[in-house]
Structure formats: structure tokens, C-alpha cells
Amino acid sequence: MTLDNKRVLVTGGTGSLGQRIVRRLLDGSLGRPARVTVLSRDEAKQHEMRLRFLHRRAATDDVIYEQAREALAFRIGDVRDDDTLVEVLRGTDIVIHAAALKQVPACEYFPVEAVRTNVMGADALVRATMAASSRVETVVGISTDKACKPINVMGMTKAVMERILVEANLRQPDTRFACVRYGNVVASRGSVVPLFLEQIAHGGPVTITLKEMTRFLLTLDGAVDTVLAALEHAQRGEIYVPRVPAARMTDLAEVLIDGRDIPIAYTGIRPGEKIHEIMVSEEECHRTLERNGYYVICPMLPECEPQSTSSTVLSSEYSSADITLDHAGLRDLLAPYLAEPLPAELKA
């Protein structure tokens, strides 16, 4: 798939994932889009991102700098607002929908706000693509492992978002709707690695909720790769899931501490937090295929399922409880984040 002359909208594009997606869209590897528009409601983050993309002059950023001058645009707006979405989708070809309330405790304390953004925002996006002036070809929604067997508000709202985008294929047959689902992104804004590094820099303690806690660990580039794989290969209503390693949070903390005299404190589970991540449930594994190194969950709605699921590849749920990373593996995975300071777009 080429993005030559395509107009791409990235909702929530000022987040760590959104910014990395925009960099990839502008680096020329997928073609030269006519326009990449970032939609978000935070003017300060947009201003910082604009300066970062338009004024970097380092040699490694030449392509992105030149392309950003021509193609990068910003729009302040809210995915909750129907009129804004209809207007910004006018002339848009591809949408990457990353806008969300994603902090688990915040969603527990403000559940209605989570519903408004994660659920009603997705519905507003679908309805906007149905506007007479819309020519949207593809929408890829960003979901989370927490949508699988959800126990918290964030996961519940993301699970509904997935269903809205799957069902949208029936309402809007001229647009292809698909999703990606993944867990913890290493060093993304608000994630555990920046928190641990900050705690270590101040002498500790490093705080972990429970000793048993496990997580999938996906790099930011791996997350972007998953989005672009879905953009290129997903069929209508499918959910793309990356195949990634899993680790205990205690092992992660020990690797980051690296033998220094810094204590680990166990603080107890947070509101709405899971002990283990699950990215494909027992029920979903019977309609999960493998394609180009990804798990692909076929839609539940039979109208959206054009291919046979007789060649499914999972016999049980895909869970982070199945540990695959030891200390050595974690050191290799974390090496890029320990060798140099975090990029500015990942800092809180």
C-alpha cells in the first residue's frame, strides 16, 4: 500500500504513539502523503510538536523536516464534536484513530468522560465518515489489551469502541474499518519504564503494585508497525494483535536498577488494574488467524467475515502470564532506552 497523495488524519496525534506514527508517515518509506493532519484538543502539545517537527535540522531528520514543511498540518478539536469531525474528514482518505482517555485510574474516577471520548468519539467518527462529502477509504482504531475480558472502565469503553468500528463496516460499506490491539508500550508517555527510571534517579523506591504482576512489552516502533500492518493488510472488521514478549514487573525493575542499592516497594493493586494482560481471549482464539507475523482476530459478525477460520492458530488465550523474557532478554529490549535520554515527545 502506498500513501502517495493520500490525505491522512491522526486523531490524538500529539501522544507518544501519534507522534511516532506521524514521523513514520512523513519519512517517505510509505510514499509521500499529500497531507498529514494531527487532530487533538491540547494546543500546548500541538505547539511543542509543531516546533519539534518543523525546526529540527539534524541530518537524520532531513527527510522528515522537509516533508513536514510541506505536508504536516494541525487542527485543534475534539473527537466528541460531530461538526469538527465532519469538517476535518472532508477530503480525508485515511484515518488513524488514536484519540482516547487511556489512564486506567483516571477512567475509574471519571467513567462518563471515558465513555464520551472512547465510545461516543468512535461513534461520532463513524457517523462523520458517512457524511455525503466524506471519501474516507480506511479507518484503523487503536485499542488495548484491556478491552479483552475487561475489568476496568478504560477496557470496557475500548471494547465497545472495537465493536462500534467492526459494526461500522455494515453501516458504511464504502469505508474499511479495522482495529489494532496491544498492551504496554515501552517508554510511552505515562508507562512504567519512564516512571521506574525517574524513581531510580531519585534513589527509589521503585514502586510495583504486586509481585505477580506481568506485562507484554512492545516497543513504540513495534506499535507503529502494527498500525501500519493493519492499514495495509487488514480486512474489514479484523483486529490486529502483535506477537510480543512478556515479563514480570519485578524483573523489569531489577534490570533497570542494575544492582544499585535501590529498594522495591509493593504498593497494592490500583483501581481497575489487571494482574496479567490478555490480548486474545479463550473465546476469540477460535477465530484468530496468523498473518505476516501478527495474530488477526476475525470479526464476530458473520457479515464481516469473508474468509474461513478453519486454520486458527491459538488453542487458549494469549496472556502475559506466559513469561518469555528473563533478565538478559529484558536488558536487550531496554538497551535503546537506557543508552540515551528519552525523546522529548515521550516525557510527561
Whether the bond into 263 is cis, omega within 30 of 0: no
3-state SS, residue 132: coil
Residue where the block lists cell 507503529:
224
Looking at residue 200, its amino acid is I
- Residue 10's closest CA among 88, 109, 126? 88
Mutual angle of helices 16-26 and 220-233, in 10-degree steps: 60
**How many other C-beta atoms lie within 10 A of the C-beta of residue 307?**
11
3-state SS, residue 340: coil
**How many other C-beta atoms lie within 10 A of the C-beta of residue 139?**
27
The C-alpha angle with vertex 161 and arms to 158 and 166, in degrees rounded to 5, equals 130
146 catalytic, yes or no?
A: yes
DSSP string for 45-110: HHHHHHHHHHH---GGGHHHHHHHHHHEEEEE--TT-HHHHHHHHBT--EEEE------HHHHHH-
- Name residues whose C-beta falls within 8 Å of residue 338's C-beta, 6 or more positions apart in sequence: 256
DSSP string for 30-45: TB--SEEEEEES-HHH
3-state SS, residue 205: coil
Tell me the CA distances in angstroms from 211 to 152, 257, 268, 327, one per residue in order: 20, 16, 9, 16
Question: What distance in Å separates the CA atoms of residue 298 and residue 128, rounded to the nearest whole number?
Answer: 25
Which one-letter DSSP state was computed for residue 209? S
The active-site residue out of 6, 45, 146, 274 is 146
Active-site residues: which are they?
146
